Structure 1
Amino acid sequence: MQIYLAAPFFSDEQVDRVARIEAALEANPTVTDFYSPRHHQKTDNPEYTPAWAAEVFRRDVTQVLDADALVVVADFRDDDADSGTAFEAGMAWALKKPIIMVEETDYKTNLMLTESLTAFVNKAEDLATYDFKNYPESKFEGQLF
């Protein structure tokens, strides 16, 4: 089972959350492998150049296409989701891939994200026992906008 981890990793809090999710996925016996974009930002091109951006974009899109499911972190900053994460979640939904959303904060969450998910968990550590073979469904619990 190949999982794509769609998550922002721009602050210490976000990096900590992603690291805890990565540890949970590593511990999960129903996960064969996972791809976390934060570990795949290097290219032969200088960071933040058009060539670097094109390579990272192609790599991440290919990984979304190849994934069996996505774990999406609905981490909000200034009442808005990370645009890259939202893009990846939209791709997954259009491709009919299961989406497991993690939301540990109490921010209001956009209904486009909450209505696209297969399952919702509110603690990163819960992903260590989630059944990625059968994808049990659960609804979002929180405030919507």
Structure 2
Amino acid sequence: MSQIYLAGPFFSDEQIDRVKRIEAALDSNPTVTDYYSPRKHQKTENPEFTAPWAAEVFQRDIKNVTDASIILSIIDYRDDDADSGTAFEQGMAWVQKKPIIVFNELKFPVNLMLSESLTAYITNSDDIATYDFDQTPKLPFTGELF
């Protein structure tokens, strides 16, 4: 049984929709028993976007990346660059030698640091619903690099 950490930006309606669709795909995947989505865990006792709120959310997310056995990284681009929080979490997972599943629905060109650290590269949410998170088979990166 694998604990999955779902990394990905949720700053726009489009991004929130994408994360929700991936959450639904994970819910329907028979090899997934549990996952942590930071999108669902932004509330604290502190006012949003204050330093105490940021510290609490940061510590919670770091703990969950560390506790996870797999990271599912939704890479999404703003101003031609990957979301820095997602890239940070993916980097943490790579250092901890965890399988990294990268989802790139919009098929943006991918920074080589993200492409070279992944275990599997997926561009269709239906493939998340059927991916074997128990075995984490390798699916090589295909696409444009930068």
Q: TM-score, normalised on structure 1?
A: 0.98
Distance in structure 2 (CA, Å) of the matches to 1:14 and 1:42: 19
Which residue is equivalent to 2:141?
A: 140
How many aligned positions are there?
145
- Give the counterpart letter for 1:23 in structure 2: A
Question: Residue 30 of structure 1 aligns to a residue in which SS?
Answer: coil
Distance in structure 2 (CA, Å) of the matches to 1:34 and 1:98: 14
1:19 is aligned to 2:20: yes
Q: TM-score, normalised on structure 2?
A: 0.97
Which residue is equivalent to 1:58?
A: 59
Distance in structure 2 (CA, Å) of the matches to 1:53 and 1:79: 25
Could you tell me which runs of 5 or more consecutive residues in structure 1 were left unpaired when the two chains were aligned: none
- Give the counterpart letter for 2:82 in structure 1: A
1:117 is aligned to 2:123: no
Q: How does 1:34-45 map to 2 (within 5 A)?
A: 34-45=35-46
Could you tell me which runs of 5 or more consecutive residues in structure 2 were left unpaired when the two chains were aligned: none
Distance in structure 2 (CA, Å) of the matches to 1:125 and 1:106: 15
- Give the counterpart letter for 1:113 in structure 2: L
- Give the counterpart letter for 1:109 in structure 2: V
Distance in structure 1 (CA, Å) of the matches to 2:73 and 2:107: 16
